[in-house]
Amino acid sequence: MDPPAASNDWIPIALGPNVPAGTAAPVTVAATEIALWRGASGAVHAWRDRCPHRGMRLSFGFVRGDDLVCLYHGWRYRSDGGCRSIPAHPDLEPPKSICADVYPCIEKGGLVWMRLRDAGEPEQDPPDIDGGAIPVRSLTVGASLYLVRKCLAGAGGSPTAAGPRGPAAEPAEIAPNLFALTRPTAEPDRETLIAAVQPVSGTRTTLHLLVVASEALDRRALQLRISRWGESFRRACEALQDNTGSGLNDEDNR
């Protein structure tokens, strides 16, 4: 499993609108199972996907207010990870040793970011995206992080040479795991495709796509175009992955 750019970098794991308030869902980040959930008040959380009681995945749990409740025995966790109540023992104050494994998690620039390790000292916040980005979609590519990054940077040749449409986009990695492909358009404005890169496993990588564009452009048409670009990018990456001999039948499908 290729490590992310550095082990304590911020990793983008979802587009903000794809994590509705009051829901919990599983995400795999660098081969680590994560429970991603959002409380009623809007705060988003990334926890190790495992209840400390009997190992049940917390991503199957349900959100009540700003608490996450485990589906197996109803153990209820506050947003700081501490256990608030254990239904089998209503009069018991749960010991502080019972807590979920909480990862740093911040929503910024339309993306949800997490860190797999806490560096301990205060780190920089995840990057913001100038100009306000419109979320488009997330899609998972059957290719390694290494290959996806290479293709985004243009060294691979095929996927980005044509850009979203017409002349070549100028790719740049503007922050760890965040690529911007800026394309001059006919108008004085520019259009910038943002691709946030999330390693899933050794052979799977998720791209979270957003776009920064002039107000004048038709938003729906723009999203559709970026989405199609993402699909052709995925096909090109996966073709390259197949050529390197690593198929999709691996530990992911166990």
Partner 1 sequence: MKTTDNAALDAWYVIGRPEDVAPHRTYRTRLLGQDLAVLTTAADRLTVHAAEGAGYGPALPVAVKHGHIWTTLGAPDRGILDIAESVEPDRKLATCGAVRVRVSGLRLVENFLDMAHFPFVHTDILGTEEHAEVAKYDVEIRRDVDEVWATNCRFYQPQAAAHADSGQVSNYMYRVASPFNVVLYKTCPAAPERYDVIGLFVQPVEPDVSLGYAFVLVVDDESTKTALIQFQQKIFLQDRMILENQRPKLLPLDPRSEMPTRADMSSVAYRRWLKEKRLAYGVFERSAA
| 3-state SS, residue 208 | strand
Distance CA 36, CA 46 (A): 5
Distance CA 49, CA 53 (A): 12
Query: What are the C-alpha distances in Å from 158 to residues 34, 115, 150, 153, 233?
Result: 33, 31, 11, 11, 9
Residue 56 C-beta: closest distance to partner 1, Å: 5
Nearer to partner 1, 95 or 166 (CB): 95
Residue 54 C-beta: closest distance to partner 1, Å: 6
Q: Copy the structure tokens of residue 228.
A: 């199609």
Residue 96 C-beta: closest distance to partner 1, Å: 12
Nearer to partner 1, 54 or 219 (CB): 54
Residue 28 C-beta: closest distance to partner 1, Å: 12
Nearer to partner 1, 9 or 49 (CB): 49
Give residues in contact with partner 1 (CB under 8 A).
33, 49-50, 52-57, 60, 71-74, 86-90, 92, 97-98
Distance CA 160, CA 49 (A): 35
Nearer to partner 1, 50 or 225 (CB): 50
